[in-house]
Structure 1
Amino acid sequence: MTVPDVELLDGEQLMSNAEELLYRQMTQHMLDGDKLKTEAFGPSSADRDMPSYSRSTEGTPQESRDWHTQNAKSPSLGVWGVTVGEAIESGRHVVDDSLCSLAAGQVRAPGHCFVDFRGLSKPHKRELRARLYFYATDRGELPTTQTKEDGVLFALA
């Protein structure tokens, strides 16, 4: 494998374990009815070309969903995954930024990382997110349950 030409910020590290699964949280804006949009696996305008994923070595799909629902603006409706190797096969690299410093009041998911879309043209971004979409949908949704509210022991039917 050749080393990608990328400039890392302080605290960022390239990920190389091809088998490691990356969890992607699905929120309402990533769905078209009950179907995932291909855009779900790429960056939104707020991501600055660094869409958030979480490392499977740092938690389970359920833990990542619970953290997201308890800390993000939109609750997670499910978790999907791609591997580091699939991102690399798609022509990009994955960066672990979990050790980067945060501004006061900011939080970051345990094992936070991102597939690096920085510097790609719009057509390349579309192609990359579509490739990641197909890998994830071939794998299927990762088993989780709806996050319970604080103080609730059981989900009510």
Structure 2
Amino acid sequence: MTGADVELVDGEQLMINEGEFAYRQVTQHMVDGDRIATTAFGPSSADQDMPSYSRSDEVSPQESRDWHTQNAKSPSLGVWGLTVGEVIESGRHVVDDSQRPLGDARKRAPGHCFVDFRRLSKPQKRELRAQLYFHATARGELATMATPADGELFV
């Protein structure tokens, strides 16, 4: 995996601040028993090799969790973070696509970005997911609280 194969489209830009975090929402399908699955840090079949994260320069872990829970199909169970530097160290890039045009019915999280898995083979994807998993789990879950449902003040 090398950095030379990144190809950006209109509305995408590389994130270069190695200390900036990319926040990943962990949902029920990303959990295996009482542990996060390594697949949590890579793309699902719907992601087109661009798994969603949120930029720490734009939102807090709590804000990213709240937005996800209020707008996605599955609520966030917690937030885990990777630094841009950790992703680069793992041989890939984080891409801010917050200015990329969207279809009419689609929503994008504030500060949306993705780890670029495009053009990787299946073994390369597994290797990258594992590396990102180890970085994120070494740090641990980021402090957030469950998002109250509409009309609730407290969970």
In structure 2, the residue matched to 1:16 is 16
Partner residue, 2:152: 152
Equivalent in the alignment of 2:92: 92
User: Aligned partners of 1:115 and 1:5: how far apart in 2?
Assistant: 13
Q: Which residue is equivalent to 1:69?
A: 69
Structure 2: runs of 5+ lacking an equivalent = none
Give, as a single letter, the amino acid of the residue that structure 2 aligns with 1:140: G
Whether the 8 Å CA contact 2:3–2:92 is kept in 1: the answer is no
CA contact (8 A) 2:18 2:85 kept: yes
Helix, strand or coil at the partner of 1:76: coil
CA RMSD of aligned residues (A): 1.2
One-letter amino acid of the counterpart of residue 21, structure 1: F
Q: How many Å separate the matches in 2 of 1:42 and 1:3?
A: 17
Equivalent residue number for residue 28 of structure 1: 28
Deviation at 1:154, TM superposition (A): 1.7
1:127 aligns with 2:120: no
Counterpart Cα distance in 1 of 2:21 and 2:14: 15
Q: Deviations over 1:94-123 (max 9, x none)?
A: 110001111001100000000000000111
Distance 1:5 1:119 in 2: 8
Tell me if structure 2 keeps the 8 A contact 1:39–1:129.
Answer: yes
Q: Distance in 2 between matches of 1:4 and 1:19?
A: 21
Query: What is the CA–CA distance in structure 1 between the aligned matches of 2:71 and 2:112, rounded to whole Å?
Result: 13
1:44 counterpart residue number: 44
Q: What is the SS of the residue equivalent to 1:57?
A: coil
TM-score normalised by L of structure 2: 0.96
Match of 2:111 in 1: 111
Distance 1:60 1:4 in 2: 31
* Deviation at residue 5 of structure 1 after TM alignment: 3.4
Amino acid aligned to 1:69: T
Which structure 1 segments of 5+ residues have no match? none
SS in 1 for 2:46: helix
1:27-65 CA distance string (max 9 Å, x none):
000001120000000000000000000000111101000
Paired amino acid for 1:68:
H
Mapped partners of 1:6, 1:118: distance in 2: 8
Aligned residue-pair number: 154
**1:53-92 CA distances to partner (integer Å, 9 max, x unpaired)?**
0000111101000000000010000000000000000000
